[in-house]
Amino acid sequence: MPKLNAIVTACFFLMVEKSPGQDSAPGICLPEIRKNVITLTAGTWVPEDFYFSLLGSYERMIIQLPRSFIHSFWVRAGAGPWAGWGPTGVNYVATISALTGRRASHFEIGSGAVFTYWSDKKEFDPMINERYIAGFIGFRYQKPGGYFVLRTGLGWPDGIYLSIGYCF
């Protein structure tokens, strides 16, 4: 009988799987935000003339501060077409940004440079007062460990923008 008890006990332990809820002990941190993001941003600006832009970009987290109010710093590079009432062209953007928050909702702010190509002139020329400045301030939804990003805010060259993306 002791052999039978030992065999049944051994079979029981071999068949029991580890429960997913047992993966972390109390006090262990949440999953981290994924460090790479590809986004597609659509924006419009109507201060005097109509302006629309579409921007595809790649972002990479370069610094993470686990215990700070500012959660992380990111770099972004992107390009995409823009159109006004008459002229059209392509924007090329590079920015560095700061992201706050630990959970899914984040405040973000960033600045950098934009180079604007005008199709009708066939040359690079800034749109606003000979300045190559890009920047934005907005809200970002990116769940730790998740694959989806949603961004919205106000910036240049995007104007009032909405952005969706994929994290990896």
Any domain includes 19:
no
User: Could you tell me which residue, 96 or 125, shows the higher pLDDT?
Assistant: 96
Q: Is the pLDDT of residue 126 over 90?
A: no
Evaluate whether residue 3 is within a structural domain.
no
Task: Flag whether 21 is in a domain.
Answer: no
User: DSSP labels for the chain?
Assistant: -HHHHHHHHHHHHHHPPPPGGGSS-TTPPPPPPPSEEEEEEEEEE-SSS-EEEEEEEEEEEEEE-TTSSEEEEEEEEEEEEEEESS-EEEEEEEEEEEEE-SSSEEEEEEEEEEEEEETTTTEE--SBTTB-EEEEEEEEEE-TT-SEEEEEEEEETTEEEEEEEEE-
Q: Is residue 22 part of a domain?
A: no
* Assigned token pair, 94: 């590079």
Residue 62 sits in a domain whose CATH number is 2.40.160.20
23 contact partners, CB below 8 Å, separation of at least 6: none
Q: Which two tokens stand for residue 56?
A: 């595809």
> Does 77 reside within a domain?
yes
- Say if 6 falls within a structural domain: no
In-domain check, residue 45: yes
Average pLDDT estimate for 149-159 = 95
Tens digits of residue pLDDT in 65-110? 988 999 999 999 999 999 988 889 999 999 999 999 888 999 999 9
Number of domains, the chain: 1
Q: What is the pLDDT of residues 21-37, one digit of tens each?
A: 444 445 555 688 999 99
Residue 104 lies in a domain: yes
pLDDT band at 2 (very low <50, low <70, confident <90, very high): low
Chain mean pLDDT for the chain:
86
Owning domain of residue 110: 34-167
Residue 29 is predicted with a pLDDT of 58
Is the pLDDT reported for residue 151 higher than 90? yes
